[in-house]
Amino acid sequence: MKMDQGTFDVGCCFIGLILLFAPPSVSSASVYRKSACLGQSIPLPCNGAARSGAELFFMQHGEQKTFQKVAEMTSGRVSAEPEFEGRLKSDPMEQPGSYGLILGPLVYNDGGSYECRPKNSTAARVETIVDILFPFQVSMAMGEPAILPCVGNIKKQAHHGDLCVQWTRDGMVICKYCNNTLTCSPEFKNRASLSTDHILQGNMSLTIKPTRSSDRGYYQCSYNEEKGNPAIVSLTVAAHPPLRLTVKEGDSLPVPLYTTEPLNVMFSTAAGSDEVLVASVKKGSVLFRSRHLGRVLSNTVVLQSVTLLDSGVYSITENDTGEAIGTVFVQVTGSCVSAGTVAGITLLVAVVAAAISIFISHMCLKKSFQWAEVGQ
Ligand SMILES: *[C@@H]1O[C@H](CO)[C@@H](O)[C@H](O)[C@H]1NC(C)=O
Ligand SMILES: *[C@@H]1O[C@H](CO)[C@@H](O)[C@H](O)[C@H]1NC(C)=O
Ligand SMILES: *[C@@H]1O[C@H](CO)[C@@H](O)[C@H](O)[C@H]1NC(C)=O
Ligand SMILES: *[C@@H]1O[C@H](CO)[C@@H](O)[C@H](O)[C@H]1NC(C)=O
C-alpha cells in the first residue's frame, strides 16, 4: 500500500490518503483512508458536479449499522445535522472527484466512514474512512534539545542489520536508521540522533539538538513498515521568556545566546522602534556590527563598557528566519551620581531655599505689622 501525499496534504497535520478500493464500474464506490489530527480540517471527496448536489452519510467507528445521513448539498450550499453544523463546507477540487466537502475543526468522535452520494445517479459514490489522531505534545524553547518519543514492540531476536526505523515530519522522511546507519535530510544532519543502544529494546525516540524554529511540525515514527507509538508527535518551538537586566555604566552587559546559531543580536531603544544590528554570531565567533566591543563567552555575548545610550531592548534572533529566540530588556544606570540623584539634590536645594525665603518673608510681614501697630 502506498501513501498518496500531496493530493490532500492539509499543511499542518500530515494527512495520508490511501486508495483502498477503486471501483470497476461507475455505480460502486471508491474507498479512501485518511488520518488527521484533532482540530484540523479534512477534505471528503465526492464525484460529479457541485451544482447537481449530493448527500453525505456517516457511520462512526465501532458501529456496524447502516450509514446515517448527516448533510445535504444543493448547488454548493451545505445543510448539516446538529453534530456537524457549522463544520462542513463545500470545496471545489481537482482530484479525485470534481468537488467535495471540508470537515473541520475535527473533534475526536468524527472518526468513522463518510460516504458522499451524488444526487445524479450516474456519478459514483465516494467513501472516506477517517481516523482521528491525538498528537503527543513536545514543547521546547529554541536551542534546547527536544526528545520526540517513539516506542515499538521490536522483535527480541532483531539485530541492527535487519531493522529499519524511519522518522517523518509532515509526511516527508527526515531520518532513517537502517542496517546500522543513520541518514538524515540536510536540515537534520548533525542535529538529529537516535540512541542505538535503546533501539533493540523498542525505544526509537529521536533527539533534535539544538532545536530551531523550522523544526515545528508533526512527526511520525515507524519501524519495518509498522507504526510506532505515539502515532504522532507535535513539536512546538518557542522563544525563551524575556529577561530584565540592570547594569552600571562602564560595566559589561551579558546577552545570552541560547545555543542556536547562526544568530543576530539586535538593539532598539524601545520595543517596537527601529532595530540596529549589534552583533552576528556564527560557529562560536562574534562579529560586532555597531559601536560595541565585546566577546563570546560560553553562549553569551558580552558587550563591554556600556554607556547610558545602551539602555533598551536587545533581541536575539535566528539569522535565517529573523524569528526572536529571546529578548533582554536592559537598563544602564549612571556609575557614581545618577541622573536621579542629581534631580533629588536639585529638588532638595530648591525646597530648602523656598523654606528659607518663606521664613524670611514671614518675619518681614510680622515686623511690618508691628510697625503698623506702633504707628497707630
Ligand atoms: C450526471 O453525471 C454524469 C457523469 O458524471 C454527467 O455526464 C452528467 O452530465 C450529469 N448530469 C447532471 C444533470 O448533472
Ligand atoms: C548491511 O551492511 C553490511 C555491511 O555494513 C552489508 O554487508 C550488508 O549487505 C548490508 N545489508 C543491507 C540489507 O543493505
Ligand atoms: C528512550 O531513549 C531516549 C534517548 O534516545 C531517552 O531519553 C528516553 O528516556 C528513553 N525512553 C524510555 C521510555 O526508555
Ligand atoms: C544570514 O541570513 C542571510 C539571509 O537571510 C544569509 O544570506 C546569510 O548567509 C546568513 N548568514 C549566516 C551566517 O548563515
Q: Which pLDDT tens digit goes with each residue over 105-129?
A: 999 999 999 999 999 878 889 999 9
H/E element, 165: strand 164-169
User: Please, which residues bridge with residue 147 across strands?
Assistant: 207
User: Please, which residues bridge with residue 138 across strands?
Assistant: 235
Q: Tell me which ligand sits closest to the C-alpha of residue 318.
A: 4
198 lines ligand 3 (CB under 6 A): yes
| pLDDT for the residue numbered 16 | 56
Output 368 or 38, whichever has higher pLDDT: 38
pLDDT class of 20 with cuts at 50, 70, 90? low
User: How many alpha carbons lie under 13 Å from residue 180 in its C-beta half-sphere?
Assistant: 4
Output 246 or 51, whichever has higher pLDDT: 246
Nearest-CA residue for ligand 4 atom 6 is 320
Nearest-CA residue for ligand 2 atom 3 is 179
Nearest-CA residue for ligand 3 atom 13 is 203
| pLDDT for the residue numbered 9 | 35
pLDDT at 376 over 50: no
Ligand 2 shell residues, CB under 6 Å: 161, 179
Tens of pLDDT, residues 263-279: 999 999 987 789 999 99
Nearest-CA residue for ligand 3 atom 11 is 203
Helix, strand or coil, per DSSP, at residue 78: strand
320 lines ligand 4 (CB under 6 A): yes
Nearest-CA residue for ligand 3 atom 14 is 203
Q: Hey, what's the cell of 345?
A: 539634590
Distance of CA 307 to the CA centre of its chain: 37
Range with lowest mean pLDDT among 196-210, 223-237, 284-298: 284-298
285 lines ligand 4 (CB under 6 A): no
- Ligand 3 centroid distance, CA of 228 (Å): 14
| pLDDT for the residue numbered 18 | 64
Tens of pLDDT, residues 351-364: 555 665 655 555 54
pLDDT at 298 over 90: no
Q: Where are the alpha helices (DSSP H) in the chain?
A: 196-199, 339-375
- Ligand 1 centroid distance, CA of 140 (Å): 53
pLDDT class of 57 with cuts at 50, 70, 90? very high
- Number of neighbours of residue 177 by Cβ within 10 angstroms: 22
Range with lowest mean pLDDT among 23-32, 148-157, 226-235, 354-363: 354-363
List the domains of the chain with CATH numbers: 28-133 (2.60.40.10), 136-238 (2.60.40.10), 243-333 (2.60.40.10)
E strands within 212-347?
217-223, 226-227, 233-238, 243-248, 253-256, 263-268, 276-282, 285-288, 293-297, 300-304, 312-318, 324-333
Tens of pLDDT, residues 320-331: 999 999 999 999
pLDDT at 311 over 50: yes
Burial 107-128 (b: 16+ CB within 10 A, else e): eeebbbbbbbbbeeeebbbbbb
Mean pLDDT of 297-312: 90
